[in-house]
Structure 1
Amino acid sequence: MTVPSYDEYVASLSRVTAHVDPTVATPDSLAVQAAATSLEALPTVDREMIAAWIERFPDAVPVLGLVVGLSQEKLKNALRQHLGTSSWTRAARVDPMGVAEMLDDEFGLAASLLAQRGRTYTFGDLLVARAGTRVYATSAGTAGRLVEDRIEEIAADLGLTYATRGRFEGRSGRTAPCDLAVPDSGRSAAIVVAAKAFDSTGSKLTDAVREVEEMAAVRKPSQFVMAVIDGIGWLSRANDLRKIHALWAAGEIDGMYTLATLGSFRADLEQAALLRGLLPG
């Protein structure tokens, strides 16, 4: 199998601070409030009007991200994926309509803005908004579980015996983590798969790379190692993603896939299972 280039792989990717008293106004909070006031004053809510607002207030684009629940980090990743830059001010000045269309196509900005303008919010709504970091952490876990569920569905559909989220034994009794093992984890594992999907960035991506490197380091010659890696969070950790791709290019792992290429994953998983006698020929 010809290993796609790193750029070809990237093209297939689908997404401690000091206490601050939230009741005390800051320059940033005042800027958000001013932007919100101007958004409430828009005579209509459509892409043309939003694009005109972006052109007028390029520094306030993160407020539109807040309308649809995007942190600045996730906004940067979305801009980089769809418009080729993580700078919202640059994108707003060069292509304000492109920013408006991206936020509307991908996140339903116009409908969300229309629904939220002028709404009366309760104290509970306020606390939910302040709990945003916990909400995003849950979403990140859900993204990872989505990929795990998809590869598990494929294994089950092929009729394979498998185990999930365990450790497998490789050379000299050494072990490494895996998210899917066929036919089982432990010593009997013949095929192991890592599933790592992140739409946000952080140390967890480096941890994911370390896990795949461990898998490659302990594998027996008879074991297949695959990795399903997706999410636009990797766009901000290109060096980490390149490390996994380099393992694939060097033949230290047998395949690297995204959700968009799960058809290839299925075919490769089936072929590996046939070679190890785990499916009837």
Structure 2
Amino acid sequence: MADDSPELLGYLTRLQRLTAHIDPTADSPQATAIRQAGASLDALPTIDAVVMTDWVKDQPRDVYTLGLAVGLSQEKLKNLLKAEFGTASWAKAATDDAEALVAWLDSEFGLLDALAAQRNRTYAFGDILAARGTSRQTASSAGVAGRLIEDAIEAIVKDLGLPYEMRGRFVGRNGDTGPADLAIPSMASALIAVACKGFDSTGSKLTAAVSEVTEMANVRFAHQYILAVVDGIGWLSRMGDFRRMYALAETRRIDGLYALADLDRFRVDLETAARRHGLLS
């Protein structure tokens, strides 16, 4: 980091944690639903294709717990269902053809053997810790962090009285489009496009965030303003990605880069851009 500019290093000091610590023992509606589905599976007299097909027909909304039993996250299960059954909804797949769904889960992931081996088993504390250590307990935190930034930006836009549209693809040069978390006045006729990228955890999603903002810069018209609000302590573990993001602003490929601590400056810059485009008198 010795070669980083004082401005970049100063930005790093303004990054903040966006998500609260999650108590792994705390209850939640989702945890309750999983426990109830697990108890229902425990109560089955036996495990075979016929019994599981009937269970899936009776409880189509609980099919994702079968994914958990074979080690599939909800997101991965959705993607696999989309490829196999043409829908990301496990409830719809179960309603359309419960028998085929059970057969697929068994042939691809060994569902019946997994259930037979795991249900009614007594688990030690070490088993619980192992499950937490090898799962994505905070997988939803990235969405929470991103939405926190979106909400803050949306509040500023509303306070200024600007027309806007949330989450889509704005139209740029030659009809090409780029991703935007907020566009003013709309995605189809964007004059200002804003990216909101907040991460407390690390991983490839930060690289993807840089790619999205780069795509915004690549398709923009000269008169379009591109602003990015980037925060979260996850960036501290992905300095290569952060430097690429910062370089977009440093080389003026985007018009502004802001941490949440910089929202006063963001508001001033947004208002200035809006006035230049005649959106504010």
Bin of the TM-score, shorter chain as denominator length: 0.5 to 0.7
After TM superposition, the score normalised by the length of structure 1 is 0.57
Q: How does 1:133-212 map to 2 (within 5 A)?
A: 133-186=135-188, 188-212=189-213
The answer for the alignment partner of 1:253 in structure 2 is 254
1:34-86 deviations in whole A, cap 9, x for unaligned? xxxxxxxxxxxxxxxxxxxxxxxxxxxxxxxxxxxxxxxxxxxxxxxxxxxxx
| Alignment-derived partner of residue 263 in structure 2 | 262
Matches within 5 A, 1:1-281: 5-15=7-17, 130=131, 133-186=135-188, 188-279=189-280, 281=281
Quote the Cα distance in structure 2 between the aligned partners of 1:260 and 1:266.
Answer: 12
1:128–1:154: structure 2 CA closer, same or farther, 3 Å change rule?
Answer: farther
- Amino acid aligned to 2:152: R
Where 1:267 maps in the other structure, the secondary structure is helix
Q: CA deviation at 1:14?
A: 1.0
Looking at structure 2, the residues matched to 207 and 141 of structure 1 have their Cα atoms a distance apart, in angstroms, of 14
**Equivalent position SS for 2:207:** helix
TM-score (norm 2): 0.57
User: 2: CA distance between counterparts of 1:219 and 1:134?
Assistant: 36
The CA deviation string for residues 205-231 of structure 1, in whole angstroms up to 9 with x for no partner, is 000000000001111001000000000
Structure 1: how far apart are the matches of 2:6 and 2:197?
Answer: 19
Distance 1:266 1:129, change over 3 A: farther
Aligned-residue offset at 1:239 = 1.0
CA distance in 1, matches of 2:228, 2:218: 14
- Structure 2: distance between partners of 1:159 and 1:184: 14
Unaligned runs of 5+ in 1: 16-122
Paired residue total: 171
Farther off after superposition, 130-139 or 165-174? 130-139
Q: Deviations over 1:242-279 (max 9, x none)?
A: 11111111111000001111111111111111110111
Change (3 A) 1:173 1:236: same
Q: For residues 162 and 131 of structure 1, what CA distance do their matches in structure 2 show?
A: 41
1:173 Cα offset (Å): 1.1
CA–CA distance in 2 between the matches of 1:131 and 1:162?
41
The structural deviation recorded for 1:4 is: 7.0
SS of the residue corresponding to residue 195 of structure 1 reads strand
1:134 CA drift (Å): 4.0
Alpha-carbon distance in 2 for matches of 1:217, 1:138: 29
Deviation at 1:135, TM superposition (A): 3.5
**CA distance in structure 2 between the aligned counterparts of 1:10 and 1:158, rounded to whole angstroms:** 29
The 3-state SS of whatever aligns with 1:14 is coil
Shift of 1:139: 1.9
Return the alpha-carbon distance in structure 1 between the equivalents of residues 6 and 274 of structure 2. 23
Q: Secondary structure at 1:6's aligned position in 2?
A: helix
Q: Are residues 129 and 10 of structure 1, via their aligned partners in 2, closer, same or farther at CA, if it must alter by over 3 Å?
A: same
Equivalents in 2 of 1:169, 1:156: separation in Å? 22
